[in-house]
Amino acid sequence: MTIRDATEADLPAIVAIYNSIIPGRMVTADLEPATVAGRAPWLQSHDPARRPVWVAEEHGAVCAWLSFDPFYPRPAYDGTAMIALYVAENHRRSGLGRQLLTRAIAHAPQLGLHTLLGYIFAHNEPSLRFFAAFGFERWAHLPGVARLDGVARDLVILGKRVS
């Protein structure tokens, strides 16, 4: 398995992995599938030196990805990033998520980051446990801020200081 910076050529696989989780209503607030064209500006906005998108590739196929996304567009928050992590269904529980998050935590200070955040729905207990295993703590609970198919969902913000 190789972890590397994402390229435009990876975008179809990144979008396919992302779209595969939308119907479950556990991981993302997006309600409709993303498109490659719609996600291209998102990928282009990520600077590999400061806010990379990484892909985990196995046998030439992208099977997971992680992005460092801006927390808030004000200079004082430049040292904080939100982590997004997605693993293809047929590669879950294989250790890819652990490898990506371990690398993200270790590499974050080199990106100028001191704080990492995870935004996770409160009903997504597996992801809450996963991030907690890496030392992320609950920093905020936002009740009912999302509506998924008419159901109010809470958002938990997890945080970890990395430097």
Q: For the packed helices 11-21 and 36-44, what is the interaxial angle rounded to 10 degrees?
A: 110
Enclosing domain of residue 64: 2-161
* pLDDT per residue as tens digits for the range 6-25: 999 999 999 999 999 999 89
* pLDDT per residue as tens digits for the range 82-125: 999 999 988 888 889 999 999 999 999 999 999 999 999 999 99
The domain tally of the chain equals: 1
pLDDT-based confidence at residue 134 (cuts at 50, 70, 90): very high
Surface-to-core class of residue 6, CB atoms within 10 Å of its CB (0-12 exposed, 13-18 middle, 19+ buried) = buried
CATH number of the domain at 115, please: 3.40.630.30
